[in-house]
Structures are given as C-alpha cells and as structure tokens.
C-alpha cells in the first residue's frame, strides 16, 4: 500500500480472497469497497463482471489491471478505460474474452472516506446517522446472510451461484410499459412505485427480483431438484438436480417474467461446457 494525501493505493495479486481485502480495507479505515462485503471469490475475478452490490461497483476504485496477454505473449497494465466497465460487464466478457489472465489489480481507496450509501435497502437497515465503514460492512453481511448470499457450506440454501439473473437495463419507454403492465395485472398497487434506477447512459435499470416475484414466481418453487431460493427470488438453488434441471428452471423463471412484463432476464453466471 502507498498513501498520498487522502488516497491509499493498494496492489493485490489476483489470487487473494476478495472478502479478506474488503475486511482489511474496512479495518484500515479505507473506503471504497465496504458495500462489496461478503462476495465470494478472488480479486482477479472482480474486474471480469465488474463485481457490484448494494450500490457500489469495483470499477469505481480500480486504477489498473495487470494482465498476461495470451495473444501478444506479454504482460501489460490495462487502464480502467480499456476495461470498458459497465453493469456486470467489461471488455473481459466481450471483445477480449479469454485473451487476458489477470495477474494483479490496483485500487485507489479513500482514507477516512465516507461509506457509499446509495442503496435504499442498505440505507433503511442502517437508519439515521453517519455509519462507520465497519457498521456498513456488518450490515451488508447481515443483509446478505438473510438472503443466503454469503457462502456457507452448512446452509442448504447456499448451494447457489448467487444472483442468477442480472437486473435488466431497458429504455425509459420500456420501463413505462412494464409499470403499465404491472398496474394492469394488479401486481403494482395504487401509490406504489416500481423499483427502477436511471443509469448514466439514459437507460433504466429494473429490479429482476421484483419482476420475478410480481410475475407470480414463488420463493422455494422447485422442479426436478432445482429451485428458486426460499430467501432470495434472484437465486436458483441446487436441491439435488442437474445442470439441465437448473437451466430448465432458469428458463421457467425467464418465461414467467417475459409473459408478464415483456422483459427477458439475462443469466449472470458464466456457463461452461
Ligand atoms: C453466494 C454468491 C453471492 C454472490 N454475490 C455477488 C454479488 O453480490 N455481486 C457480484 O458481482 N457477484 C456476486 N457473485 C458472483 C461471484 O462471487 C463473482 O463473480 C466473483 O468475482 C467470482 O470470483 P471467483 O474467483 O470465484 O471467479 P470464478 O467464478 O472462478 O470465475 C469467474 C470468471 O472470471 C474468470 N477469471 C477468474 N479469475 C481470473 C483471472 N485471474 N484472470 C482472468 N480471468 C479470470 C473466469 O475464467 C470466469 O470467466 C456471487 C456468487 C455467489 C456464489
């Protein structure tokens, strides 16, 4: 770690466990990754899908990604601009798919910075006042645990890849059409607002979990050993099924949402083989 003014520059090898880094940052009083507490996996994977949660994304603090370029057979450092970060997206998932092995990632964190409090559910759980980074981390972990989103080998609801669908990004007109469809179906009550967030590119992000539940998918719904989590509509859980039954379950959920709202949910986990 190198500090200059209020900025702490931290370089981490790709194989470091992500949450150890978050815990360390919070303990050091360094802000920038506190809302990304409890996400399983290693540092080197975080730029792949621009890991994000509770209103924060790793791209906000990445200053460089050191890679082995398999095509050029050399090492180089990618500037964040070259990583083309987007919502659960980056160049690593697109044009440069399979080209780079991430060796290390450089971050810039803020010494004594305020925690990022942008996400309604987190703000509500924290209540009034100015929470410390440690309190934000604990609150995020407890919200995640309640949804089975912290890896726990003893939790049968934890046999999941995390959120199975990304939040759809749609045009403002489509968002209005979804709201109208929800009202027409009677699943959006008078005076209730559909969760949605404007994005910087002019689109609107919808809440996939909300769409799934309002499309009539019940938590716990299970077919052939693959089911919707009892605690989190966005997560699919392995209850003794196969990959085929998991993907069939995903398709059932997608169909329900498509029929109800005309929105196609994208699958978040990468499928191999
Ligand atoms: C319970 C649970 C909760 C989750 N919650 C979230 C969440 O809140 N937000 C979120 O964004 N994600 C979440 N995820 C998804 C997952 O934790 C992240 O995608 C994480 O970054 C995966 O890390 P990994 O080391 O396991 O990578 P892997 O799953 O092994 O790999 C993911 C991809 O990255 C590539 N990759 C990995 N390391 C490197 C490297 N060094 N160089 C090049 N390519 C590499 C792999 O080839 C693969 O394509 C969750 C998953 C689970 C199981």
Predicted confidence at residue 112, as pLDDT, reads 85
pLDDT classification of 3: cutoffs 50, 70, 90: confident
Q: Which atom of ligand 1 is nearest to the CA of 54?
A: 8
Is the confidence at residue 187, as pLDDT, over 90? yes
What residue owns the CA closest to ligand 1's atom 36? 45
* Three state DSSP letters for the chain: CEEECCEEEEEEECCCEHHHHHHHHHHCCEECCHHHCCCCCEHHHCCCCCCEECCEEHHHCEEEEEEEECCCCEEEEECHHHHCCECCECHHHCCCCCCEEEEEEEEEEEECCCCCCCCHHHHHHHCCCCCCHHHHHHHHHHHHHHCCCCCCCCCHHHCEEEECECCCEECHHHHHHHHHHHHHHCCCCCCCCCCEEECCCCCEEECHHHHHHHCCCCCCCEECCEEECCCCCCEEEECCCCHHHHHHHHHHHHHHHHHHHCCCCCECCCCCC
pLDDT on residue 6: 94
pLDDT of 190 strictly over 90: no
Q: Give the residue, out of 43, 45, 70, with the most ligand 1 atoms within 8 A of its beta carbon, to mutate for a pocket test.
A: 45
Check residue 108 and give its pLDDT: 98
Please tell me the residue having the least CA distance from ligand 1 atom 35: 45
Q: Which of 48, 122, 156, 235 maximizes ligand 1 atoms within 8 Å of its Cβ, making it the mutation to test the pocket?
A: 48
Q: Is the pTM of this model over 0.85?
A: yes
Q: Whose CA is nearest to atom 17 of ligand 1?
A: 40
Q: Which one of 66, 88, 239, 256 is the catalytic residue?
A: 88
> 43 C-alpha to center of ligand 1: Å?
9
Give the Å distance between the CA of 235 and the centre of ligand 1. Answer: 15
Per-residue confidence (pLDDT) for residue 200, from 0 to 100: 87
Residue 272 has pLDDT above 90, yes or no: no
Q: Please tell me the distance between residue 236's alpha carbon and the centre of ligand 1 in angstroms.
A: 16
Chain segment 107-143, per-residue pLDDT in tens: 999 998 899 999 989 999 999 989 999 999 999 999 9
pLDDT tens, 233-249?
A: 999 999 999 999 999 99
Domains of the chain, earliest start first: 2-146 (3.30.465.10), 156-261 (3.90.78.10)
Q: Which atom of ligand 1 is nearest to the CA of 149?
A: 1
Ligand 1: atom nearest CA of 93 is: 49
């Amino acid at each position: 770690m190198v500090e200059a003014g209020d900025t702490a520059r931290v370089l981490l090898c790709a194989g470091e466990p992500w949450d150890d880094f978050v815990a360390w940052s919070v303990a050091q009083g360094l802000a920038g990754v506190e809302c990304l507490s409890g996400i399983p996996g290693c540092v080197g994977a975080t730029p792949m899908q621009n890991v994000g949660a509770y209103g924060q994304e790793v791209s906000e603090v990445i200053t460089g990604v050191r890679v082995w370029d398999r095509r050029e057979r050399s090492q180089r450092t990618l500037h964040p601009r070259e990583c083309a970060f987007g919502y659960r997206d980056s160049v690593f998932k697109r044009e440069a798919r399979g080209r780079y092995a991430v060796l290390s990632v450089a971050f810039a964190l803020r010494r004594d910075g305020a925690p990022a409090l942008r996400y309604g559910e987190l703000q509500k759980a924290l209540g009034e006042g100015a929470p410390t980074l440690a309190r934000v981390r604990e609150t995020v972990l407890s919200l995640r645990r309640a949804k089975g989103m912290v890896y726990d080998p003893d939790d049968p609801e934890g046999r999941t890849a995390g959120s199975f669908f990304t939040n759809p990004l749609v045009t403002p007109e489509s968002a209005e059409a979804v709201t109208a469809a929800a009202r027409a179906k009677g699943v959006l009550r008078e005076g209730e607002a559909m969760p949605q967030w404007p994005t910087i590119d002019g689109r609107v992000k919808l809440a996939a979990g909300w769409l799934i539940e309002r499309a009539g998918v019940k938590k716990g719904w299970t077919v052939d050993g693959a089911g919707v989590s009892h605690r989190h509509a966005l997560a699919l859980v392995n209850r003794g099924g196969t990959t085929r039954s998991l993907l069939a379950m995903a398709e059932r959920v997608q169909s329900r949402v498509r029929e109800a709202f005309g929105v196609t949910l994208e699958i978040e986990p990468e499928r191999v083989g």
